[in-house]
Each structure stands twice: as structure tokens, then as C-alpha cells.
């Protein structure tokens, strides 16, 4: 049997509690018969990262057969938080549960000066965004500064990352932005 931190804690916690209660004369068989099953037993689990701050704590989301979240726990195997979540992270459950089935999954576009949203395909939206980035970059690319120093930079575009973006994704994102010549690169967790 492979012991993880979680199985070790489960085992030692259960053994210590059981031993202590038996020593006090409790009938553990009767207690076990009456015990309710945890509501997370048999649920689907998904591993995620808390989106709220730069700590990037790991969490486990438990969801029912319809994919609706029913509980969230800190991930005991995650190196950042080792199973704990602060009160903000613990409230992730409300966000996930409240937004279940309500999140917009389609691209909605409202043109300059427009009042109505129009549905667009992801292909259209991504092509449009890529076009705007390329045009802006080409228009404002600065090879030299006012003193003649080679700078190869673009000051007309800024990039702001989100805390739900993990380390590896941030690494790739910053590389891509630097390739374009961006110098204004920051992250929501620093704000």
C-alpha cells in the first residue's frame, strides 16, 4: 500500500481516536453502526487552485452526479497549503455552487457604441483578438528609445495575469508577452 500524507493522517487520526475511546470504555462497534457516511463519499473529485491570491493553495472540489459542487476542501497533498484553506479560499465553494450552470460559456460581443450583445464563435473571437494584438504591436513597436538605445519594446499593450493562472502557465505567458516586446506585465495577485 502506498502511503501518502493524506492516508497517513487518516490512519493515524482514526487509530489514535479509536484507541482513546476504547480506553474510556466506549463501544466503538455501536458507534460505527450509527455513524453517518460522509457526504463526500462516492462523489466526483476535481483538483484545482484557489483563484484569490498569489499563495495558490490547492483545493479539492466534490461534485454530485450532475456535476454540481457540494463541498470544497483544502488539498492535503498540495505543497503550498498542506490541506488548509483560509476563510477566503474556503468560501470558494459558494462561488462554485452559486455559479454552477449559470456561467456564460459563449462569446458575446458588443461593438463600439453598440447596445446589444451578439453571439460570436470562439474562432472568430480569437482571430479578432490576435489581429488586434498584432496590429497594435506592429504600429507601436519601438526599436530605439529617444537616446538611440536599442530597446525593441511595445508600450501600447499591457498584460495582467490572474491568480488562477499557475506557475507554469505564468512562465509561458510571460515568455509569450516578452516575445511580443511587452514591458508592462503584471499580475492580479500583486494588486
Would you tell me which residues interact with ligand SF4 (CB under 6 A)? 50, 52-53, 55-57, 81, 85-86, 88-89
β-strand 58-63 against 182-187: which pairing, if any? unpaired
CB of 150 to ligand SF4, least distance (A): 40
CB of 49 to ligand SF4, least distance (A): 7
Smaller CB separation from ligand SF4, 54 or 149: 54
Q: All 3 cell numbers of residue 8?
A: 497517513
**What distance lies between CA 32 and its chain's CA centroid?**
37
DSSP track, 42-91: T-EEEEEE-SSSTT--EEEEEE-TTS-EEEEEE-TT-TTTTT---HHHHT
The three-class DSSP label of residue 142 is strand
Smaller CB separation from ligand SF4, 60 or 154: 60
Residue with the shortest CB distance to ligand SF4: 89
CB of 172 to ligand SF4, least distance (A): 21
Smaller CB separation from ligand SF4, 89 or 181: 89
Amino acid at each position: 500500500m502506498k502511503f501518502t500524507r493524506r492516508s497517513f493522517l487518516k490512519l493515524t487520526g482514526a487509530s489514535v481516536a479509536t484507541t482513546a475511546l476504547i480506553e474510556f470504555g466506549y463501544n466503538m462497534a455501536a458507534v460505527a453502526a450509527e455513524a453517518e457516511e460522509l457526504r463526500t463519499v462516492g462523489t466526483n473529485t476535481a483538483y484545482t487552485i484557489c483563484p484569490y491570491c498569489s499563495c495558490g493553495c490547492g483545493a479539492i472540489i466534490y461534485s454530485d452526479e450532475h456535476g454540481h459542487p457540494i463541498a470544497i476542501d483544502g488539498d492535503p497533498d498540495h505543497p503550498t497549503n498542506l490541506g488548509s484553506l483560509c476563510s477566503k479560499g474556503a468560501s470558494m465553494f459558494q462561488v462554485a455552487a452559486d455559479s454552477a450552470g449559470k456561467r456564460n460559456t459563449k462569446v458575446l460581443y458588443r461593438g463600439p457604441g453598440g447596445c446589444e450583445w451578439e453571439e460570436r464563435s470562439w474562432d472568430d473571437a480569437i482571430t479578432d483578438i490576435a489581429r488586434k494584438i498584432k496590429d497594435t504591436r506592429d504600429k507601436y513597436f519601438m526599436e530605439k528609445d529617444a537616446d538611440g538605445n536599442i530597446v525593441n519594446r511595445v508600450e501600447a499593450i499591457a498584460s495582467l495575469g490572474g491568480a488562477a493562472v499557475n506557475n507554469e502557465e505564468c512562465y509561458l505567458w510571460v515568455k509569450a508577452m516578452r516575445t511580443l516586446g511587452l514591458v508592462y506585465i503584471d499580475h492580479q495577485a500583486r494588486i
